[in-house]
Amino acid sequence: MKHHVTPTVAFFAGLDAHQEYVVIAVVDKTGTLVHEGRVRSGDAAQLRAALLPFHSVTHPLAVVVETCPFWPWLYDAVVPFGIRFQLAHAQELEAIARSARKSDQRDARLLARMLAGDLIPPAYPTSPAQRDTACLLRHRAALVRTRTMTANRLHSQLHAVGLGLPREQLLRKASRVWLVETAWPRLSPEQQHLVQAHWGLLRHFTKMIAALNARIAQLAAADPAACLLATIPGIGPFRSLMLATELLPMSRYASVHKFVGYAGLAPITRRSADTVRRGPLPRAANRWVRGALVSAIPTHLRLAPGSRLSQYYARQKPRLGWPVARVAAARQLARIMYVMLATGECWREEGIVDGVSAERRMES
């Protein structure tokens, strides 16, 4: 009978990544420094040449790097070779952030020793497929923001001469006729140049966004988790794919409370003795998830006014005001989504009725 030997980590590497170079520090189980060096940023072969001497099948190397713009290429360079990769939550690494004596070499050594001592606050490294989908979604979001800024500049020129145009009518053909016949004579030559240029940009951005929407709808239709979330009124292809990309896999969350906290919808809580104070929502959260959930609430209220979630919002609004009530409803929606993603159950207004009952069903 064969006995399978569980691989044990013998060496730990801390990587301090920058735009031009990556500083490497390797320590053993006792935290003793055994290797230190520097490689060019983006040179995967040079990085592996420095790390692989400390890696084997029976004693794999474990590396750690802080969350930063450079971690994806490090992940792609080492993980296919069996090296264990740990992404560290940069904002929670107070030992490095508050250090009075700070250097790249000291940061790399401290990262390696914290990994050896199992003291790293973990962050989830998304897969290449997730990163690719997130790139598409964030590109679309950036184009929408840029189009809104462009439209605002056009509107400001109209307001300067006492004219107004509803935002939803700006890109309609009839509005083009109105601009030429009514607004154009009242605009100065420079204002005319600005309006003409921005009108062309708006049309171009709209065509680009329409093409991206088609791609996103196609990807969302092929993603089981996105299709599941799309059963919620107010969650369309873009939001469903965004949420599925940012939230999965569900094994990342030990409980529904961790899920809500990752979504940035759990208020800051400070406890001292028997006193509990609740503050605002944390800044260090996934802004894409929080934005998608909060912005979905008005659409949900319009499409499903009789749902239990809409009723919950209606009860909270007189007491808290609509901004706080919308966040509270988004928190309930996050609880519902946790159950849906964990069980595969579709949205049902009379079934998964609110976050509290859903959570109790999960625990029973």
Confidence of residue 76 (pLDDT cuts 50, 70, 90): very high
Task: Report the first-to-last Cα separation within the chain, whole angstroms.
Answer: 40
Interval 262-272: pLDDT, tens: 999 988 777 76
Averaged pLDDT of the chain: 88
Phi first, then psi: give them for residue 186, nearest 5 degrees.
-90, -10
Kindly report the backbone phi and psi dihedral angles of residue 353, in degrees, each rounded to the nearest multiple of 5, phi listed first.
-95, -30
Residue 270 main-chain phi, psi, to 5 deg: -120, 125
Residues 6+ apart with CB under 8 A from 213: 140, 237, 238
What does the pLDDT read at residue 363? 47
Q: What is the pLDDT of residues 92-135, one digit of tens each?
A: 887 666 666 778 999 999 999 999 999 999 999 999 999 999 99
Beta bridge partners of 25: 14, 36
**Region 308-320 average pLDDT:** 94
- Strands (DSSP E) contained in 233-320 are 269-272, 275-278
DSSP of 35-74 = EEEEEETT-HHHHHHHHGGG--SSS--EEEEESSTTHHHH
Bridge partners for 278 per DSSP: 269
Of the candidates 343, 349, 345, which has an alpha carbon nearest to the alpha carbon of residue 310? 349
Residues 124 and 246: beta-carbon distance below 8 Å: no
Which residue has tokens 């171009």? 204
Q: What is the pTM of this model?
A: 0.85
- Tell me the C-alpha distance between 185 and 32, whole Å: 77
303 pLDDT band, cuts 50/70/90, is very high
